[in-house]
Structure 1
Amino acid sequence: MNMIAGIKQRVRKAMLERNDFEKSILKVALGDLETEASRSADEITNERCEQIIRKMVKSANEMIKLSKDEAMIEKCKAEIVILETLLPKTLSVDEIVAALESVKDNVLAAGNDGQAMGVAMKHLKSSGAIVEGKDVNAAIRKIRS
């Protein structure tokens, strides 16, 4: 099942449970995804859906940093929790360090952190791991220290 269909099911479930906040957040996400799908000639991929939702999470995090209103901060945090349930689980820094154990020598032998990042990302992507760049960067710094 693609991500858009899954979100539509969650919207229906939120409506039945009368969870208006979750329903509204999911509808905004669904609207953004459907807008992107209508702009694209091809069908939107789950990877592209994840990118759009990550962008929404990033935007909510920026609102938290900029806002001084406590109610707005709490609303943004709740929004992030809902949006993150739509994303696949990413590896933590410690899990990334463990996953890179087999290429640790190559990471250490790299000339700089950028080259080490390339080695690490190549290995992680080939193994199908879902990671965020900042976490991989932190794992590399941990390995190289």
Structure 2
Amino acid sequence: MTIIDILRQKALVSMKAKDGVATTILRLAQSEVQAAEARLGTAISDADAVGVLKKLVKSNEETLAASAGDAEKTATLQREIDILSELIPKGLSVADIAAALAPVADAIKAAANDGQATGLAMKHLKSQGAQVNGTDVAAAVKTLR
């Protein structure tokens, strides 16, 4: 089941449960995914859908920081962030990333600087199909160097 299918299923469940906040944010996420598909002219991959969801979470986090005074709005935004975060697959931890980089550890250590080392690490991890955060990869590279 793809992330888009899960998104549709959760939206349907929230509508049946008459959960206004969940329904609103899930419909927004669906429309953002459809807009991304329209821009590409084809169905988007799970990785692209995750990117759309991450962008929505980041947008809500920025709005949350800006509206710290309104308790009701803050609670709603936090709930929306929680709902969207459930749909985003969990990435590898720094320790797991460091372990996954063991085959290329020598090349990472031999790199001229941290930027090149991180680039090598990202290339290796992406070739393995790993879902990783760039800051976590940089932290793992620093532990290896």
On whether the aligned pair clears a TM of 0.5, the verdict is yes
Unaligned 5+ residue runs, structure 1?
A: none
| Matched residue SS, 1:85 | helix
Q: Once the 2 structures are TM-superposed, how far is the Cα of residue 84 of structure 1 from its aligned partner?
A: 1.4
Instruction: Report 1:55-70 matches (<5 A).
Output: 55-69=55-69
Q: 2:54 corresponds to which letter in structure 1? A: R
Unaligned 5+ residue runs, structure 2?
A: none
Q: Once the 2 structures are TM-superposed, how far is the Cα of residue 103 of structure 1 from its aligned partner?
A: 2.1
Instruction: Report 1:1-145 matches (<5 A).
Output: 1-69=1-69, 71=71, 72-144=73-145
CA–CA distance in 2 between the matches of 1:100 and 1:2? 28
Identify if the C-alpha distance between structure 1 residues 94 and 33 changes in structure 2 by more than 3 Å, giving closer, same or farther: same
Structure 1 runs of 4+ aligned residues shifted over 6 Å read: none
Deviations, residues 65-99 of structure 1 (Å, cap 9, x unaligned) = 33322523333222221111212221122221222
Q: CA RMSD in A?
A: 1.8
| Matched residue SS, 1:90 | coil
CA–CA distance in 2 between the matches of 1:8 and 1:53? 13
Deviations, residues 28-85 of structure 1 (Å, cap 9, x unaligned) = 1011111222333222222221111111111122223333225233332222211112
Identity of aligned residues (%): 39
CA–CA distance in 1 between the matches of 2:101 and 2:45? 28
Q: Once the 2 structures are TM-superposed, how far is the Cα of residue 124 of structure 1 from its aligned partner?
A: 0.9
Q: 1:139 corresponds to which letter in structure 2? A: A
